[in-house]
């Protein structure tokens, strides 16, 4: 046993006291006590030639979830996942069974709601089948399996976060809507996009720069003609209330005289081929070399590159192509026998061993570099490739989807499954990345997209424009309403993100978490909750299964109930949800007035939290925050709201509070200045 109802099973031949380095776990597991005599479920291990296999038998009525970034249904019974991070455009390769990330993790929920988790602690190329026998097969050596047992799935997810790390609290601006394209160029086009958002009063917080800002796709450079002054551009964006995120890929152009290539060559940081020579592969710049992030010296060199880069006024970094993608190989990545030299806790080994954690190691070094450059700001990193536990370093998006109607419902179980695999800060490209977007597809997607944890619109080069105003007035209105809904919810969303950073529970949750014993909810793929208190039901969802009880539909802005592309939004009986004003970006003051949406339960009671801090920086870690728990009781037909408790040293702002009671006990709104 390595914790409360957490067991580690070590196959014969591995020394439990000297296990291989774990990338998934925060620290090496320490066996505290022998396995209890009542422990029932245990894996078995077999070796067959170059493969090692762990199997785990479950009852046929157990519902299986997890596996990280996958296509297909939320319920994973009967599915196969290939764990080999893959640049998979539109998810077409191998029918989407291998995508950009690898999460060797499965959660099972029994009929009575009790649950277990299986963590297969290996990074090697693998396959995972989910059936009555769960099988994890690697093309590598023996590995341990960690088994978590808990009375509820929530308990399993909290234990997973304790083992693999909790998502750091992001800056509040990262919760706003974000606009991207491959690519906005030149810098005048970036300014035009930003100014149009403000002129049209469509809320937005972030503009993204794709690879065309670079000089010949050389990372950490800027095209002198198209982006002559990135600092001036970022300053202009900041004046308009925007943050700026810029892309960095791992491939370094093999170009003597190019500073990054020369310094990396001098420091001997590149991945080697099987013959010990520097591996060269083709990516956007042409022939490229690739940092060997298994080496501490490489990670230190990489982190140092961000000092001057971030000094240009850059707010966040986007690490793409970090599976790593390589264009001129059969499988679009490095050969499996490429060689990583390791160092410190990491032993030398072939790419087959380190491929699935290449992106994770990269973003860990990126985060460290950003933090060194801006020590008083919370780093924001977005990554395409990652591994179980990578939530410690970066948010993620689900890669190169397509502007197709079927990719809208597909996105929901993808995001939910990532959340059930420890990666809560995620979302797809709203509107679809590949292909031309039809107005009705984009409109439906932005309505849903307002409720993803990570909310960003994107589009590929050569496709039609995919900004909110690009499809005519009707779609523009839908986009404005959708994003105004999101921005009213920012106080609640930020509170949920804070809860997630503490508990490990997802931001976007499958409805079965609202009632784990209701087996009818286990396969619901369309409806979901945001945190514990809001239920999102797309109006196009076919006969969704919803949690028991009367979750009243609520309205946040004018027109959100009449537009069929806006999902129905409902509130949990017994909850209090904090809302702000509609603002154009998250730096604007939105909590004066503060609105408390109160939905009493059958006993006339309700409660809910509001978390407040500076929105960036780390003073909250020293107590500069305010966590308020509100409670409501019904007395003599009146719903009375009071402050039940507070936490933190941040003083309560003097502001007006509007109380709106919804549900069967709904009353007209009242105001207060003491809440």
Do 491 and 594 form a contact (C-beta atoms < 8 A)? yes
Active site residue 671: no
How much is the average pLDDT of 396-400?
Answer: 99
Give the SS3 label for residue 35.
coil
**Given a cut of 80, is residue 665 above it in pLDDT?**
no
**Given a cut of 70, is residue 433 above it in pLDDT?**
yes
Active site residue 320: yes
Cα–Cα distance, 489 to 293 (Å, whole number): 39
Catalytic one of 87, 127, 292, 400: 400
pLDDT > 70 in the chain, percent: 99
Q: Confidence class of residue 41 from pLDDT cuts 50, 70 and 90?
A: confident
Do 65 and 417 form a contact (C-beta atoms < 8 A)? yes
Residue 669: predicted pLDDT: 63
**Given a cut of 90, is residue 672 above it in pLDDT?**
no
Residue 37: predicted pLDDT: 78
DSSP state of 215: B
Residue 671: predicted pLDDT: 65
Domains 6-164 and 511-672 share a fold: yes
Residue 668: predicted pLDDT: 59
Cα–Cα distance, 118 to 8 (Å, whole number): 10
- List the beta bridge partners of residue 530: 508, 534
**Given a cut of 80, is residue 382 above it in pLDDT?**
yes
**Given a cut of 90, is residue 297 above it in pLDDT?**
yes
Domain ranges of the chain: 6-164, 249-387, 511-672
Residue 414: closest CA among 37, 40, 68: 68
Give the SS3 label for residue 38.
coil
Catalytic one of 63, 187, 320, 484: 320
Averaged confidence pLDDT in the chain: 97
Where are any strands of DSSP class E within 365-488? 381-383, 386-387, 395-397, 426-427, 429-430, 456-457
How much is the average pLDDT of 41-68?
Answer: 96
Q: Which two tokens stand for residue 24?
A: 């998934």
Active site residue 323: yes
Q: Which two tokens stand for residue 451?
A: 């409720």
The pairing of strands 243-248 and 316-319 is parallel
Cα–Cα distance, 670 to 675 (Å, whole number): 12
Q: Which two tokens stand for residue 337?
A: 């026998």
Residue 220: predicted pLDDT: 99
Catalytic one of 323, 435, 476, 525: 323
Residue 377 vs residues 128, 165, 169, 380, 622: alpha-carbon distances, Å: 39, 20, 11, 9, 15
Q: Confidence class of residue 38 from pLDDT cuts 50, 70 and 90?
A: confident
264-280 pLDDT per residue, tens: 999 999 999 999 999 99
CATH topology of domain 6-164: Immunoglobulin-like (2.60.40)
Residue 589: predicted pLDDT: 86
Residue 171: predicted pLDDT: 99
**Given a cut of 80, is residue 670 above it in pLDDT?**
no
DSSP state of 109: E
206-225 pLDDT per residue, tens: 999 999 999 999 999 999 99
Domain spanning 511-672, CATH class: mainly beta
Residue 52: closest CA among 13, 105, 102: 13
How much is the average pLDDT of 439-461?
Answer: 99
361-379 pLDDT per residue, tens: 999 999 999 999 999 999 9
Other Cβ atoms less than 10 A from the Cβ of 376: the count is: 9
Residue 17: predicted pLDDT: 87
558-572 pLDDT per residue, tens: 999 999 999 999 999
Residue 27 CB contacts under 8 Å (≥ 6 apart), including other chains: none
Residue 143: predicted pLDDT: 97
Cα–Cα distance, 237 to 179 (Å, whole number): 13
75-130 pLDDT per residue, tens: 999 999 999 999 999 999 999 999 999 999 999 999 999 999 999 999 999 999 99
Peptide bond into 456 cis (omega under 30): no
Length of the chain: 675
Domain spanning 249-387, CATH class: alpha beta
Do 145 and 56 form a contact (C-beta atoms < 8 A)? yes
Residue 642 CB contacts under 8 Å (≥ 6 apart), including other chains: 630, 631, 632, 675
How much is the average pLDDT of 289-314?
Answer: 99
Residue 667: predicted pLDDT: 64
Using CA atoms of 32, 33, 36, 40 in order, give the dihedral in degrees to the nearest 10.
50
129-182 pLDDT per residue, tens: 999 999 999 999 999 999 999 999 999 999 999 999 999 999 999 999 999 999
């Amino acid at each position: 046993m390595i914790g409360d109802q957490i067991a580690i099973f070590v196959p014969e031949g591995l020394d439990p006291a000297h296990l291989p380095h774990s990338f998934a776990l925060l620290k090496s597991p320490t066996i505290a006590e022998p396995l209890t005599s009542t422990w029932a479920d245990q894996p078995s291990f077999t070796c067959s030639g170059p493969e090692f296999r762990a199997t785990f038998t479950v009852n046929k009525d157990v519902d299986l979830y997890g596996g990280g970034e996958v296509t297909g249904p939320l319920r994973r019974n009967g599915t196969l996942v290939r764990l080999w991070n893959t640049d998979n455009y539109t998810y077409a390769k191998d029918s989407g069974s291998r995508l950009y990330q690898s999460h060797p993790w499965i959660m099972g929920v029994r009929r009575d709601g009790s649950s277990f988790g299986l963590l297969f602690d290996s990074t090697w190329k693998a396959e995972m089948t989910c059936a009555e026998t769960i099988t994890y097969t690697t093309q590598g050596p023996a590995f341990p399996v960690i088994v978590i047992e808990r009375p509820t799935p929530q308990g399993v997810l909290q234990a997973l976060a304790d083992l693999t790390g909790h998502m750091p609290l992001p800056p509040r601006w990262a919760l706003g809507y974000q606009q991207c394209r491959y690519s906005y160029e030149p810098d005048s086009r970036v300014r035009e996009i930003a100014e149009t958002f403000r002129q049209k009063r469509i809320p937005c917080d972030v503009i993204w720069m794709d690879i065309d800002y670079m000089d010949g796709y050389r990372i950490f450079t800027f095209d002198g003609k198209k982006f002559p002054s990135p600092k001036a551009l970022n300053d202009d964006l900041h004046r308009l209330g925007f943050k700026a995120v810029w892309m960095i890929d791992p491939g370094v152009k093999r170009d003597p005289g190019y500073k990054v290539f020369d310094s990396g060559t001098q420091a001997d940081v590149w991945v080697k081929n099987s013959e010990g020579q520097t591996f060269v592969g083709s990516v956007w710049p042409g022939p490229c070399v690739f940092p060997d992030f298994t080496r501490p010296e490489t990670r230190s060199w990489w982190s140092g590159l961000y000092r001057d880069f971030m000094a240009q006024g850059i707010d966040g970094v986007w690490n793409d192509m970090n599976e790593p993608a390589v264009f001129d190989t059969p499988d679009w990545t490095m050969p499996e026998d490429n060689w990583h030299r390791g160092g410190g806790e990491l032993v030398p080994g072939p790419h087959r061993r380190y491929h699935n954690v290449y992106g994770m190691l990269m973003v860990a070094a990126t985060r460290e570099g950003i933090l060194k450059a801006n020590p008083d700001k919370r780093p924001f990193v977005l990554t395409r490739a990652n591994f179980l536990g990578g939530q410690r370093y970066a948010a993620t998006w689900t890669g190169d989807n397509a502007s197709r109607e079927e990719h809208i419902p597909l996105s929901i179980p993808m995001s939910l499954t990532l959340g059930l695999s420890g990666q809560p800060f995620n979302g797809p490209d709203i509107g679809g990345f590949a292909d031309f977007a039809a107005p009705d597809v984009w409109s439906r997607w932005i309505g849903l997209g307002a409720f993803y944890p990570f909310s960003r619109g994107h589009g590929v080069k050569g496709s039609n424009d995919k900004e909110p105003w690009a499809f005519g007035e009707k779609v523009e209105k839908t986009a404005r309403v959708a994003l105004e809904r999101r921005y009213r919810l920012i106080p609640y969303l930020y509170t949920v993100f804070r809860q997630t950073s503490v508990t490990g529970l997802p931001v976007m949750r499958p409805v079965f978490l609202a009632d784990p014993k209701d087996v009818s909810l286990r396969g619901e793929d369309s409806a979901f909750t945001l945190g514990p208190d809001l239920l999102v039901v797309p109006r196009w969802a076919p006969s969704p299964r919803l949690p028991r009880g009367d979750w009243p539909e609520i309205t946040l802005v004018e027109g959100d109930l009449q537009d069929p592309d806006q999902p129905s939004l409902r509130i949990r009986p017994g909850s209090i949800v904090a809302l702000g004003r509609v603002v154009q970006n998250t730096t604007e003051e939105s909590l004066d007035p503060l609105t408390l949406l109160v939905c009493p339960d059958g006993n006339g009671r309700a409660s809910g939290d509001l978390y407040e801090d500076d929105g960036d920086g780390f003073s909250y870690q020293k107590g500069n925050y305010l966590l308020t728990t509100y409670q409501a009781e019904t007395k003599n037909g009146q719903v009375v709201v009071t402050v039940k408790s507070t936490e933190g040293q941040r003083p309560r702002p003097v502001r007006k509070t509007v109380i709106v009671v919804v549900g069967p006990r709904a009353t007209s709104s009242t105001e207060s200045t003491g809440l």
